[in-house]
A and B are shown apart, each in its own frame.
Chain A
Amino acid sequence: DTGVSQNPRHKITKRGQNVTFRCDPISEHNRLYWYRQTLGQGPEFLTYFQNEAQLEKSRLLSDRFSAERPKGSFSTLEIQRTEQGDSAMYLCASSLDGLGSNQPQHFGDGTRLSIL
């Protein structure tokens, strides 16, 4: 399977704990995006990378959230001191570099986070 891969698929943790998610994009894609999706809503943009550079961060991304893409391949999203409101599906997507050329994003199946 050469699609976008996310791990773990599900994460259940207690409030206050730290969690880390991993995303492996399609290998030739140099753009990688993180989104958060709650039930009945569309994905909300969190941040995106062009290769290893983090180019934009949403104001939704509080200081408890950090994302990295150290070698321009896989990416991690860490949430520190989790809160109830962090419960959501975290989606990763990747695309080719497409400024002005409308390259579509390909999504993984997400990591569902549940905070107890």
Chain B
Amino acid sequence: TQLLEQSPQFLSIQEGENLTVYCNSSSVFSSLQWYRQEPGEGPVLLVTVVTGGEVKKLKRLTFQFGDARKDSSLHITAAQPGDTGLYLCAGQTSYDKVIFGPGTSLSVIP
């Protein structure tokens, strides 16, 4: 069974701080996606990483895919209250099935 773990589960920080959340698995994925979800809404895609070692930047967010394509990290610089939400990583298998991690719930306090 392929599983994705995310850490930390909860994170509460002050506005302006930096943070990193992690997504780990023992399985290899053909790609990995990061989503952000706000209460009462569906997940919204932030980025897809495909190549081992790939780094993608989206404004203050930096995403990295591990060399072995088993893990990923999301780093946020100078967090803002608008970054508050549930951050989900999702791994796509070679059979196109997508497996989600349990998420990291981020709260940025003004």
Contact = CB atoms under 8 A, between A and B. Distances in A.
A42 B97 CA distance: 15
Interface residues of B, number: 27
Contacts, number: 59
Contact of A102 (B44, B50, B105): B50
A55 to B, nearest CB: 9
Contact of A4 (B33, B35, B42, B50): B42
B11 to A, nearest CB: 13
Contacts of B97: 45, 48, 56
Interface of A: 4, 31, 33, 35, 40-45, 48, 56, 91, 93, 98-100, 102, 104-110, 112
Interface of B: 4, 6, 30-31, 33, 35, 40-45, 48, 50, 88, 90, 92, 94, 96-103, 105
